[in-house]
Structure 1
């Protein structure tokens, strides 16, 4: 019985009396990028792509037919026209928007047969970068132009203040500010961005350090370590948030040696940065080492201070004090002739009168 029914359905399909429907596919498209909605069919005289009630693209009579295309898709769709004859009727969607999400129907037909396939499109705008910084009494973590909306959490207990907004393109901006005490600025702060299911999608960290050296000595700048990430990463060292000292893109061979403001800078294969022949007039300040991957941004800020000037001042003060003492001692010796048993001027005068 089942065999007979299967044969009947097959014959009806072959005769074009039943419409052939293919199971759904799911595609993730990224905001502002190009995305391909896959569809294959042997029937390609007439092709229609729909998103709900709206026509995204039509093709028949051997050419695109866009008179009834929804205005939101104007100039953003295309087919692989050179591959239609081989069955590829996939839709190219350019400049993807958040509202492009939905269930698309790929309809194709010839005179006696038709085919339908469905593609579920999810649009995402992943985090591109996160700004993490200290303000007056808080540490702030923020990002913008993301979709869907996410949440922010911290590795430090506290009561963060959160702000979020949505722009006219349905993209979200998120900010979380965590109150801190002045003596807590040397801790390592990490903020986590989490999707609706609780998965961490991005992490950002900030830590501060301090080192004191003498003029002409070598300073070692700490850079963030890998936190288990794999794949490509970038490393950049900046001075006082403006001047780039060194950069590494994960593909450059190590070690890296370069000159910067008359100092010798070296990045070792172990990821350690050393600065040689430093001078307090040129090189005192804040060095920021940033390690960035597709899912993280880690920042280490190191304050390099020189104690050589303090030592020199102390030495000069010491020399001046010794010189003053020597001068005072010499004056006393001359005046009173105490040094080496000499006579004072009063004694010499009395002896002259007696003679």
Structure 2
């Protein structure tokens, strides 16, 4: 009957071929039953991560976790068996033992680092049979911040502790052609395998003409951190007179914080900070500086200087808007000049000088008369 079903039965040779076919078929079915597809797990750098694995529970569970041929974790005889565990994983792995009776052989991998990335195999065995599950582990170190500076003829952008290596994109406001905004980008792994990315572009035309935008983009495009910087032309103020220093975000931010700093010779000092979610202001220059509260809700964070002094308050004022994965800085060079005499004071001095002329003349004539006689 089997030969008729296969239609290949021709003597012993046909029987042998049929048996071989059945063995291959049974082996294939066994593989399909015991081997599952590869699952992808993304683990965050330095955090704990769970590699999932399940099986049909029964008595005398045996669990082996491997990374390629390296022993990661073993469990049998109702306890961990770590004699052959690779030293890289020592003290960093554990099973959910109370879940083994429910068929959960997942591995908890602690304090993940870049070298943990790779293909893992979970082998499980009971009196009912065995099973293999594969887990492809990808490690990610997320972008935390992007730093930007404008010095001389160059705008630089940098970030660090990122994995895998990110991409960098530049733009300007107003827009400039991509052929004119050529960037130089270097990505360097550190001793932990995390990447430091440094990128720079040359300033186009006058330093005040453009705002420069640098975006650091994660390898999977899930994260985009954008920082921008803009320099304004020198602002001239007068001692004793209120001065408004402008700062406008490049777009209408929904949730943001605003910080003003002042730099004269050394490191910047904080003037004030504002959080639009709580609408609270922390002002370290109380009575000397403040915000236009009706404007700040519209992402306009101009700073009002009250009664500035020429030497003390001349310098660089920087406002920084910080939102979700966005940061915008505006640098304002402010020069406070000495107060000029008012028209009223000038007139009083002139009147006083006119009043003194007859008296001076009389003294001179008296002196001349005494000399002659």
TM bin, normalised by shorter chain, reads 0.7 to 0.9
Of 263, 280, 301 in structure 2, the residue corresponding to residue 273 of structure 1 is 301
Provide the residue aligned with 1:342 in structure 2.
none
Provide the residue aligned with 1:43 in structure 2.
57
Instruction: Say if 1:226 and 1:159 are closer, same or farther in 2 by CA, change over 3 A.
Output: closer
Cα distance, 1:132 vs structure 2: 0.7
Distance in 1 between the 2:275 and 2:93 partners?
A: 35
Instruction: Say if 1:235 and 1:35 are closer, same or farther in 2 by CA, change over 3 A.
Output: farther
Provide the residue aligned with 2:170 in structure 1.
154
Instruction: Say if 1:60 and 1:244 are closer, same or farther in 2 by CA, change over 3 A.
Output: farther
Say how many residue pairs are matched: 331
Cα distance, 1:195 vs structure 2: 4.9
Provide the residue aligned with 2:129 in structure 1.
113
- TM-score of the superposed pair, with normalisation by structure 1: 0.75
Provide the residue aligned with 1:33 in structure 2.
47
Q: Are 2:164 and 1:164 equivalent residues in the alignment?
A: no
Q: Are 2:270 and 1:244 equivalent residues in the alignment?
A: yes
Instruction: Say if 1:170 and 1:243 are closer, same or farther in 2 by CA, change over 3 A.
Output: same
Q: Is the 8 A contact 1:257 1:264 kept in 2?
A: no
1:123-172 deviations in whole A, cap 9, x for unaligned?
12222111110122211111222222233232153333333322232222
Cα distance, 1:177 vs structure 2: 2.2
Of 217, 226, 233 in structure 2, the residue corresponding to residue 203 of structure 1 is 226
Instruction: Say if 1:81 and 1:204 are closer, same or farther in 2 by CA, change over 3 A.
Output: same
- TM-score of the superposed pair, with normalisation by structure 2: 0.72
Distance in 2 between the 1:155 and 1:27 partners?
A: 34
Of 235, 248, 253 in structure 1, the residue corresponding to residue 278 of structure 2 is 253
Of 71, 77, 80 in structure 2, the residue corresponding to residue 64 of structure 1 is 80
Provide the residue aligned with 1:139 in structure 2.
155
Structure 1: unaligned runs, 5 residues or longer: 2-7, 338-344
Structure 2: unaligned runs, 5 residues or longer: 6-21, 173-179
Q: Is the 8 A contact 2:290 2:305 kept in 1?
A: no
Distance in 1 between the 2:271 and 2:126 partners?
A: 65
Cα distance, 1:190 vs structure 2: 0.8
CA RMSD of aligned residues (A): 4.2
Provide the residue aligned with 1:291 in structure 2.
321
Provide the residue aligned with 2:38 in structure 1.
24
